[in-house]
Amino acid sequence: MEGNNARLVQTMISRLDQRQRLILALRYAEELTVPEIAHVLRIGLAEVQSTLDQLVEEVRREVSEKSLLVS
C-alpha cells in the first residue's frame, strides 16, 4: 500500500505547475519555513501558506479516495 501511495503522490506532483512544485520542494525537501519560502520566491506569506494548505489537502483527499477503492 505504501508503494501505491508514493506513486500516487508522485503522479499528483507531476501534474502541478512549476510554482506549486517549487513551493513543495522548498518546504519538504529543503525544509524551509513559510517565511523563508516567501522571501526566496518574493511572494506573500499568505500565498505560500494557502498553496501548501491546498496541495496537502488535495494529496490527503486523493490518497484517502484511492485507499477506499483498494480496500
Residue pLDDT, tens place only, 19-66: 999 999 999 999 999 999 999 999 999 999 999 999 989 888 887 877
DSSP assignments along 12-51, one per residue: HHHTS-HHHHHHHIIIIIS---HHHHHHHHT--HHHHHHH
Residue pair 35/52 in contact (Cβ under 8 Å)? The answer is no
Look at 37 and 2; give whichever has higher pLDDT: 37
pLDDT value for 8: 78
CATH of 2-70, one of 3.30.830.10, 1.25.40.80, 1.20.140.10, 1.10.10.10: 1.10.10.10
pLDDT value for 2: 65
pLDDT value for 67: 67
pLDDT value for 68: 56
**52, 23, 34, 40 alpha-carbon torsion, rounded to 10°:** -160
pLDDT value for 39: 98
